[in-house]
Chain A
Protein backbone atom coordinates (compact mmCIF):
# COMPACT_ATOMS: atom_id res chain seq x y z
CA UNK A 1 0.00 0.00 0.00
CA UNK A 2 1.12 3.53 -0.63
CA UNK A 3 1.98 5.59 2.38
CA UNK A 4 3.65 8.86 3.35
CA UNK A 5 5.27 9.29 6.74
CA UNK A 6 6.22 12.59 8.28
CA UNK A 7 7.71 11.53 11.58
CA UNK A 8 8.14 15.06 12.93
CA UNK A 9 4.81 16.22 14.30
CA UNK A 10 6.00 19.62 15.46
CA UNK A 11 9.24 21.57 15.10
CA UNK A 12 10.07 24.86 16.75
CA UNK A 13 13.01 27.00 15.67
CA UNK A 14 14.24 30.52 16.15
CA UNK A 15 14.27 32.88 13.20
CA UNK A 16 17.29 32.53 10.88
CA UNK A 17 17.85 28.90 11.84
CA UNK A 18 17.86 26.28 9.09
CA UNK A 19 15.26 23.53 9.42
CA UNK A 20 14.69 20.26 7.58
CA UNK A 21 11.32 18.57 7.34
CA UNK A 22 11.49 14.83 6.72
CA UNK A 23 9.28 12.81 4.40
CA UNK A 24 9.49 9.06 3.77
CA UNK A 25 7.19 7.36 1.29
CA UNK A 26 6.21 3.83 0.31
CA UNK A 27 4.97 2.82 -3.13
CA UNK A 28 5.19 -0.13 -5.48
CA UNK A 29 4.80 2.08 -8.54
CA UNK A 30 7.90 2.76 -10.60
CA UNK A 31 6.45 6.05 -11.79
CA UNK A 32 5.10 8.38 -9.17
CA UNK A 33 5.05 12.01 -8.15
CA UNK A 34 5.91 13.66 -4.87
CA UNK A 35 4.68 17.00 -3.63
CA UNK A 36 5.05 19.46 -0.80
CA UNK A 37 2.22 21.73 0.25
CA UNK A 38 2.14 24.47 2.87
CA UNK A 39 -0.90 25.17 5.06
CA UNK A 40 -0.51 28.53 6.83
CA UNK A 41 -2.72 29.45 9.80
CA UNK A 42 -5.28 30.89 7.37
CA UNK A 43 -6.03 27.32 6.29
CA UNK A 44 -5.51 27.16 2.55
CA UNK A 45 -3.19 24.59 0.97
CA UNK A 46 -0.41 26.15 -1.08
CA UNK A 47 1.52 24.13 -3.63
CA UNK A 48 5.31 24.33 -3.20
CA UNK A 49 6.93 21.70 -5.40
CA UNK A 50 6.28 18.67 -7.57
CA UNK A 51 8.91 16.04 -8.38
CA UNK A 52 8.61 12.91 -10.52
CA UNK A 53 10.29 9.63 -9.67
CA UNK A 54 12.75 9.82 -12.58
CA UNK A 55 14.16 13.16 -11.57
CA UNK A 56 16.45 12.85 -8.58
CA UNK A 57 18.03 16.24 -8.99
CA UNK A 58 17.82 18.39 -5.92
CA UNK A 59 15.91 21.62 -6.32
CA UNK A 60 16.48 25.03 -4.83
CA UNK A 61 14.02 27.88 -4.88
CA UNK A 62 15.16 30.86 -2.87
CA UNK A 63 15.39 29.78 0.76
CA UNK A 64 13.68 26.47 0.01
CA UNK A 65 15.45 23.32 -1.14
CA UNK A 66 14.37 19.75 -1.63
CA UNK A 67 16.44 16.57 -1.46
CA UNK A 68 14.95 13.55 -3.25
CA UNK A 69 16.67 10.22 -2.59
CA UNK A 70 15.05 7.25 -4.24
CA UNK A 71 17.43 4.81 -2.49
CA UNK A 72 15.99 5.78 0.88
CA UNK A 73 12.49 6.69 -0.37
CA UNK A 74 12.83 10.16 1.07
CA UNK A 75 11.90 13.61 -0.13
CA UNK A 76 13.11 16.08 2.48
CA UNK A 77 12.46 19.80 2.56
CA UNK A 78 14.90 22.35 3.95
CA UNK A 79 14.18 25.97 4.77
CA UNK A 80 17.32 28.05 5.06
CA UNK A 81 17.37 31.12 7.32
CA UNK A 82 13.81 30.54 8.48
CA UNK A 83 11.42 33.45 8.94
CA UNK A 84 8.32 33.92 11.07
CA UNK A 85 6.21 33.82 7.89
CA UNK A 86 7.37 30.24 7.34
CA UNK A 87 5.28 29.17 10.33
CA UNK A 88 2.74 26.70 8.94
CA UNK A 89 1.91 23.04 8.64
CA UNK A 90 3.82 21.40 5.81
CA UNK A 91 2.48 18.34 4.04
CA UNK A 92 4.33 15.85 1.90
CA UNK A 93 2.17 13.95 -0.59
CA UNK A 94 2.46 11.07 -3.05
CA UNK A 95 0.27 10.70 -6.12
CA UNK A 96 -1.42 7.47 -7.04
CA UNK A 97 -1.27 6.58 -10.69
CA UNK A 98 -4.45 5.64 -12.47
CA UNK A 99 -5.97 5.57 -15.91
CA UNK A 100 -2.94 4.47 -17.89
CA UNK A 101 -0.37 6.58 -16.14
CA UNK A 102 -2.18 9.78 -15.43
CA UNK A 103 -1.82 11.33 -12.03
CA UNK A 104 -4.51 10.40 -9.61
CA UNK A 105 -5.37 11.45 -6.13
CA UNK A 106 -2.84 12.52 -3.53
CA UNK A 107 -1.89 10.55 -0.44
CA UNK A 108 -0.83 12.96 2.27
CA UNK A 109 1.39 12.57 5.27
CA UNK A 110 0.10 13.76 8.64
CA UNK A 111 1.99 17.02 8.30
CA UNK A 112 4.70 18.76 10.28
CA UNK A 113 3.79 21.91 12.18
CA UNK A 114 6.66 24.39 11.97
CA UNK A 115 6.79 27.29 14.39
CA UNK A 116 9.40 29.95 13.76
CA UNK A 117 9.87 32.27 16.71
CA UNK A 118 11.32 35.77 16.40
Chain B
Protein backbone atom coordinates (compact mmCIF):
# COMPACT_ATOMS: atom_id res chain seq x y z
CA UNK B 1 0.00 0.00 0.00
CA UNK B 2 1.60 3.24 -1.20
CA UNK B 3 -0.52 5.49 1.02
CA UNK B 4 -2.05 7.25 -1.99
CA UNK B 5 -5.80 6.74 -2.27
CA UNK B 6 -7.98 7.13 -5.33
CA UNK B 7 -11.74 6.98 -5.70
CA UNK B 8 -13.67 5.53 -7.32
CA UNK B 9 -11.87 2.35 -8.31
CA UNK B 10 -14.09 1.82 -11.33
CA UNK B 11 -16.28 4.23 -13.26
CA UNK B 12 -18.56 3.42 -16.17
CA UNK B 13 -20.24 6.25 -18.00
CA UNK B 14 -21.54 7.29 -21.40
CA UNK B 15 -20.09 9.48 -24.12
CA UNK B 16 -20.67 13.18 -23.57
CA UNK B 17 -20.80 12.87 -19.79
CA UNK B 18 -18.57 14.47 -17.15
CA UNK B 19 -16.81 12.65 -14.31
CA UNK B 20 -14.58 13.58 -11.40
CA UNK B 21 -11.74 11.44 -10.14
CA UNK B 22 -10.41 12.01 -6.66
CA UNK B 23 -6.96 11.52 -5.18
CA UNK B 24 -5.58 11.88 -1.67
CA UNK B 25 -1.78 12.03 -1.47
CA UNK B 26 0.39 10.28 1.10
CA UNK B 27 0.49 12.03 4.43
CA UNK B 28 3.04 14.87 4.23
CA UNK B 29 3.29 14.92 0.44
CA UNK B 30 2.69 18.30 -1.18
CA UNK B 31 2.87 17.40 -4.85
CA UNK B 32 0.29 15.46 -6.86
CA UNK B 33 0.62 14.13 -10.39
CA UNK B 34 -1.98 12.67 -12.74
CA UNK B 35 -1.18 10.05 -15.38
CA UNK B 36 -3.28 8.26 -17.97
CA UNK B 37 -2.58 4.67 -18.99
CA UNK B 38 -4.15 3.44 -22.22
CA UNK B 39 -3.34 0.54 -24.50
CA UNK B 40 -2.29 2.69 -27.43
CA UNK B 41 -0.55 5.58 -25.63
CA UNK B 42 0.93 3.79 -22.64
CA UNK B 43 1.53 5.77 -19.45
CA UNK B 44 1.35 9.49 -20.10
CA UNK B 45 1.77 12.43 -17.76
CA UNK B 46 -1.20 14.77 -17.62
CA UNK B 47 -0.60 17.43 -14.98
CA UNK B 48 1.24 18.18 -11.73
CA UNK B 49 0.27 20.30 -8.73
CA UNK B 50 2.38 21.46 -5.85
CA UNK B 51 0.75 22.85 -2.71
CA UNK B 52 -2.32 23.99 -4.63
CA UNK B 53 -0.52 25.50 -7.62
CA UNK B 54 -0.20 23.99 -11.09
CA UNK B 55 3.46 23.16 -11.64
CA UNK B 56 3.70 21.28 -14.94
CA UNK B 57 1.40 20.27 -17.73
CA UNK B 58 1.73 17.35 -20.10
CA UNK B 59 -0.55 15.93 -22.77
CA UNK B 60 -3.74 16.97 -21.06
CA UNK B 61 -6.74 17.63 -23.28
CA UNK B 62 -8.65 20.90 -22.97
CA UNK B 63 -11.71 18.85 -21.95
CA UNK B 64 -9.78 17.76 -18.87
CA UNK B 65 -8.98 19.93 -15.88
CA UNK B 66 -7.61 19.40 -12.41
CA UNK B 67 -7.13 21.19 -9.14
CA UNK B 68 -5.50 20.67 -5.79
CA UNK B 69 -7.38 21.80 -2.71
CA UNK B 70 -6.08 23.34 0.54
CA UNK B 71 -6.18 19.92 2.22
CA UNK B 72 -3.92 18.76 -0.66
CA UNK B 73 -6.33 16.28 -2.18
CA UNK B 74 -6.73 16.61 -5.92
CA UNK B 75 -9.51 16.11 -8.41
CA UNK B 76 -9.29 15.41 -12.12
CA UNK B 77 -12.36 16.47 -14.07
CA UNK B 78 -13.03 14.87 -17.44
CA UNK B 79 -15.82 16.33 -19.55
CA UNK B 80 -17.49 15.67 -22.91
CA UNK B 81 -16.19 12.15 -22.62
CA UNK B 82 -15.31 10.18 -25.71
CA UNK B 83 -14.76 6.46 -26.21
CA UNK B 84 -11.03 7.10 -26.46
CA UNK B 85 -10.94 8.48 -22.92
CA UNK B 86 -11.42 4.97 -21.56
CA UNK B 87 -8.24 4.30 -19.62
CA UNK B 88 -6.69 3.74 -16.22
CA UNK B 89 -6.05 7.05 -14.49
CA UNK B 90 -3.33 7.14 -11.88
CA UNK B 91 -2.58 9.71 -9.27
CA UNK B 92 0.89 9.88 -7.74
CA UNK B 93 2.30 11.96 -4.94
CA UNK B 94 5.71 13.07 -3.76
CA UNK B 95 6.95 15.24 -0.94
CA UNK B 96 7.64 18.37 -2.95
CA UNK B 97 8.82 17.26 -6.38
CA UNK B 98 12.35 17.85 -5.16
CA UNK B 99 15.61 16.18 -6.08
CA UNK B 100 15.31 13.40 -3.53
CA UNK B 101 11.68 12.61 -4.30
CA UNK B 102 10.07 9.48 -5.59
CA UNK B 103 6.54 9.41 -6.93
CA UNK B 104 4.27 6.90 -5.24
CA UNK B 105 1.23 5.82 -7.17
CA UNK B 106 -2.31 5.17 -6.10
CA UNK B 107 -4.27 2.09 -7.19
CA UNK B 108 -5.82 3.93 -10.14
CA UNK B 109 -9.34 4.61 -11.37
CA UNK B 110 -10.46 2.55 -14.33
CA UNK B 111 -12.74 4.65 -16.53
CA UNK B 112 -14.91 3.00 -19.14
CA UNK B 113 -16.79 5.22 -21.56
CA UNK B 114 -19.60 3.45 -23.42
B108 lies within 8 A of chain A by Cβ: yes
B88 lies within 8 A of chain A by Cβ: yes
Nearest-CB residue, chain A, relative to B48: A105
A72 lies within 8 A of chain B by Cβ: no
**What separation, in Å, do the CA atoms of A26 and B110 have in the docked complex?**
31
Task: State the Cβ distance, B81 to closest chain A Cβ, in Å.
Answer: 21
* Contact residue among A52, A99, A103, A110 (Cβ-Cβ distance under 8 Å from B42): A110
A98 lies within 8 A of chain B by Cβ: yes
Asked if residues A91 and B107 are in contact (CB atoms below 8 Å), the reply is no
- Chain B contact residues: helix, strand, loop or mixed: strand
Asked if residues B107 and A107 are in contact (CB atoms below 8 Å), the reply is no
* Contact residue among B45, B94, B105 (Cβ-Cβ distance under 8 Å from A107): B45
**What separation, in Å, do the CA atoms of A111 and B43 have in the docked complex?**
9
What are 5 A-B contacts with C-beta separation under 8 Å? A43-B108, A47-B103, A98-B56, A108-B42, A108-B43
Report A71-118 residues with CB < 8 Å from chain B CB: 91, 93, 96, 98-99, 101-111
Interface size on B, residues (CB 8 A): 28
* A44-B2, A99-B55, A103-B98 known, 6 other contacts, Cβ within 8 Å: A44-B106, A96-B56, A102-B99, A104-B97, A105-B56, A107-B45
Task: State the Cβ distance, A23 to closest chain B Cβ, in Å.
Answer: 14
A60 lies within 8 A of chain B by Cβ: no
Which A residues touch B35, using CB under 8 A?
A: 106
Asked if residues A102 and B97 are in contact (CB atoms below 8 Å), the reply is yes
Asked if residues B104 and A47 are in contact (CB atoms below 8 Å), the reply is yes
B58 lies within 8 A of chain A by Cβ: yes
Nearest-CB residue, chain A, relative to B96: A102
Which A residues touch B42, using CB under 8 A?
A: 108-111
Most buried by A among B43, B94, B105, B106: B43
Asked if residues B56 and A37 are in contact (CB atoms below 8 Å), the reply is no
**What separation, in Å, do the CA atoms of A107 and B94 have in the docked complex?**
16
**What separation, in Å, do the CA atoms of A103 and B103 have in the docked complex?**
10
A16 lies within 8 A of chain B by Cβ: no
Asked if residues A91 and B43 are in contact (CB atoms below 8 Å), the reply is yes
Asked if residues A47 and B105 are in contact (CB atoms below 8 Å), the reply is yes
Asked if residues A44 and B105 are in contact (CB atoms below 8 Å), the reply is yes
**What separation, in Å, do the CA atoms of A104 and B97 have in the docked complex?**
6
